[in-house]
């Protein structure tokens, strides 16, 4: 067989040991919070039938789906006419399956397929990769993880309060202090279009102001004008761009702004109910900001919407979500409302990296390496290793009798905090030399003292 220079597909990544430790730190933090709040885990298959995926993400989404060729002689059911008809039509003959594009559609499919077995409200979380045939670029990958939690089958606004608290617990767990949870309500946005005299234009309005962060107020206004909003409309919109108001001030403003608008009052009511639940939680600084220009692109949101910004890093939102009315309608199950959230692990990874927030040592990494100097040291090395492992301290005995320098380089590269050396002198005295790889400090200790020392530093 010819020797090949191997590579991986564009837009995909290997995660080596050092990256996995950091990624797991993020995943485990999120997962622990989800579980503490009563969410249960779901995993769905990597491949879904194209009939499930197609048409759910718009035309562009359909283009970005990775399609899997049928197995075996996949051309056998095609004709030359099929081939001549081109890629799109030929596809239906040669591919029945595609790769998961997000976690929402598989979740909706699961709910529909298992609706008779599920006790609603159903609180599920799901942490799995998704695939999109986007053009790869900095920060945009063709394979990336999503970390979603949703509650479906209830309209209770307690769920919104829980989501706000989960966001707080996750970022507190990750030691990120300076973040803002922007929230808003789609009913408020609908009411704004009504109040300014542009009813029915909610979609255009949301699409335009969704770009505020990226293109600025002036260009948003331009886009609104192009979308048919009048000068009079726009004048009345102006107050919502005032980002300096507190939540209380915004509510005072909205109450007069929506004085005679029903849906607007419903939006205010929802916001106030959520805030009243939050009052009962012990965390007082909820990092909340009522941002009347927050719209979120997706059209299926119908109530609360959320987005989280890391204020010290130039990066897009690190978490987002909202309430929807109709998760499963496309699969024939109507009135399945719920609220969900998704953490952007790749961006959170970059934020923690840039702010240097990763813990220095990780319980999941190797804690102790015992150097190996041949058969004489093997048995005492194994004994010490097992005593440490019995205390759940990750330990290894270097497998070969190699030069000291090689073993120390290995320990250093692996980031091991402690190295134990057993030489002939040590065997004679029944002591072990313990080297702290961070401080460089070295001392000679009896086994029990060495074990206590490592255990206490652990």
Binding residues for a copy of itself restricted to 247-306, rule: CB under 8 A: 277, 279-282
Maximum C-alpha span of the chain: 93
Q: Which of 17, 199, 216, 228 binds a copy of itself (CB under 8 A)?
A: 17
Binding region for L-histidine: 102-104, 132, 146, 150, 296, 300-301
Instruction: Tell me which stretch binds a copy of itself (CB under 8 A): 38-46, 226-234, 237-245, 302-310.
Output: 38-46
| Rounded least distance, CB 318 to a copy of itself, Å | 21
In this chain, which stretch among 115-123, 237-245, 249-257, 262-270 interacts with a copy of itself, using CB under 8 A? 115-123
Question: Running DSSP on this structure, what letter comes out for residue 140?
Answer: B
Of 113 and 215, nearer to a copy of itself (C-beta) is 113
**Minimum CB separation from a copy of itself for residue 199, in Å?**
26
Residue pair 179/308 in contact (Cβ under 8 Å)? The answer is yes
Contacts 24+ apart (CB under 8 A), 402-410: 402/372, 404/371, 407/369, 407/371, 407/372, 408/371, 410/369
Q: How far apart are CA 349 and CA 354, in angstroms?
A: 9
CA–CA distance, 207 with 396 (Å, rounded to integer): 56
Please list every residue from 139 through 158 that binds a copy of itself, using CB under 8 A.
142-143, 151, 154-156, 158
Within 179-218, which residues bind a copy of itself (CB under 8 A)?
A: none
Q: Give the binding range for a copy of itself (CB under 8 A) out of 35-43, 186-194, 309-317, 437-445.
A: 35-43
Distance CA 252, CA 404 (A): 72
Asked if 445 is part of the footprint of a copy of itself (rule: CB under 8 A), the reply reads: no
Q: For a copy of itself, which is the closer residue by CB, 8 or 231?
A: 8
- Per the DSSP assignment, residues forming a β-bridge with 40 are 124
Q: Please report which helix (H) or strand (E) contains residue 377, including its range.
A: helix 375-389
Residue nearer to a copy of itself on the CB measure, 8 or 428: 8
Which one, 266 or 389, has the nearer CB to a copy of itself? 389
Our finding on whether 38 is near a copy of itself (CB under 8 A) is yes
Q: Which is nearer to a copy of itself, 72 or 440 (CB)?
A: 72
- What SS3 class is residue 238? helix
Collapsing DSSP to helix, strand or coil, 71 comes out as coil
Q: How many residues bind a copy of itself (CB under 8 A)?
A: 111
Smaller CB distance to a copy of itself: residue 319 or 369? 369
Give least dist CB 78 to a copy of itself, A: 8
Of 43-102, binders to a copy of itself (CB under 8 A) are 43-49, 51-52, 55, 63-64, 66-69, 71-76, 80, 83, 86-87, 90-91, 94-97, 99
Strands, sheet with 338-343, edge to edge from the N-terminal-most edge strand: 40-41, 122-131, 143-152, 338-343, 319-324, 301-310, 179-185, 288-290
Chain-centre distance of CA 67, in angstroms? 24
* Contact present, 217 and 203 (Cβ < 8 Å): no
Give how far the C-alpha of residue 403 lies from the chain's centroid of Cα atoms, to the nearest Å: 44
Site string for a copy of itself, 371-410 (x = CB under 8 A): -------xx--xx--x--xx-xxxxxx-xx--------xx
- Are 15 and 152 contacting, i.e. CB atoms less than 8 angstroms apart? no
> Looking at beta carbons only, is 213 or 273 nearer to a copy of itself?
273
Q: How far is the CB of 234 from a copy of itself (least distance, A)?
A: 35
Shortest reach from residue 342's CB to a copy of itself, in Å: 19
Is residue 37 within the footprint of a copy of itself (CB under 8 A)? yes
Nearest-approach distance from CB 17 to a copy of itself, in angstroms: 3
Give dist(CA 439, CA 458) in Å, integer. 15
Q: Phi first, then psi: what are they for 78, rounded to 5°?
A: -105, 160
Which residue, chain included where needed, has tokens 């718009």?
Answer: 58
Q: What does the angle CA 174 – CA 179 – CA 180 come to, to the nearest 5 degrees?
A: 135
Task: Please state the closest distance from residue 421 (CB atom) to a copy of itself, in A.
Answer: 17
């Amino acid at each position: 067989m010819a020797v090949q220079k191997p590579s991986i597909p564009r837009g995909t990544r290997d995660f080596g040991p050092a990256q996995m430790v950091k990624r797991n730190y993020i995943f485990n933090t999120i997962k622990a919070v989800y579980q503490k709040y009563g969410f249960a885990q779901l995993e769905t298959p990597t491949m879904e039938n194209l009939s499930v995926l197609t048409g759910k993400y718009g035309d562009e989404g359909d283009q970005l789906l990775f399609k899997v060729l049928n197995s075996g002689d996949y051309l056998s059911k095609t004709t030359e006419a099929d081939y001549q008809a081109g890629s799109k039509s030929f596809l239906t003959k040669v591919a029945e399956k595609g790769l998961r594009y997000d976690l929402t559609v598989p979740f909706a499919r699961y709910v529909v397929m298992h609706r008779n077995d599920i006790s609603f409200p159903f609180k599920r979380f799901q942490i799995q990769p998704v695939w999109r045939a986007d053009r790869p670029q900095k920060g945009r990958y063709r394979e990336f993880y999503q970390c979603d939690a949703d509650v479906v089958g209830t309209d209770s606004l307690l769920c919104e309060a829980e989501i706000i608290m989960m966001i707080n617990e996750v970022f507190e767990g990750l030691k990120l202090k300076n973040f803002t949870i922007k929230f808003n309500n789609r009913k408020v946005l609908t009411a704004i279009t009504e109040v300014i005299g542009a009813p029915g234009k909610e979609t255009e309005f949301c699409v335009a102001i969704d770009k505020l962060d990226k293109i600025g107020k002036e260009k948003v206004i331009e886009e609104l004008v192009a979308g048919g909003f009048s000068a009079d409309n726009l004048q009345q919109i102006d107050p919502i761009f005032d980002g300096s108001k507190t939540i209380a001030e915004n509510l005072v403003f909205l109450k007069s702004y929506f004085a005679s608008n029903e849906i607007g009052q419903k939006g205010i009511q929802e916001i106030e109910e959520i805030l009243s639940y939050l009052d009962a939680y012990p965390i007082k600084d909820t990092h909340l900001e009522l941002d009347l220009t927050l719209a979120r692109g997706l059209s299926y949101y119908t109530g609360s919407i959320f987005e989280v910004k890391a204020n010290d890093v130039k990066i897009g939102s690190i978490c987002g979500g909202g309430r929807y009315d109709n998760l499963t309608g496309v699969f024939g199950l109507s009135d399945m409302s719920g609220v969900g959230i998704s953490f952007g692990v790749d961006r959170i990874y970059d934020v923690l990296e840039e702010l240097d927030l990763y813990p220095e040592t990780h319980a999941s990494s190797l804690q102790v390496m015992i150097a190996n100097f041949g058969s004489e040291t093997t048995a005492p090395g194994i004994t010490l290793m097992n005593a440490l492992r019995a205390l759940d301290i990750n330990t290894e005995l270097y497998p070969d009798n190699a030069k000291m320098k090689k073993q120390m380089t290995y320990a250093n590269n692996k980031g091991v905090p402690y190295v134990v050396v057993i030489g002939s002198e040590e065997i004679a005295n029944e002591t072990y030399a313990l080297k702290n790889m961070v401080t460089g400090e070295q001392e000679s200790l009896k086994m029990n003292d060495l074990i206590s020392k490592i255990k206490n530093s652990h």
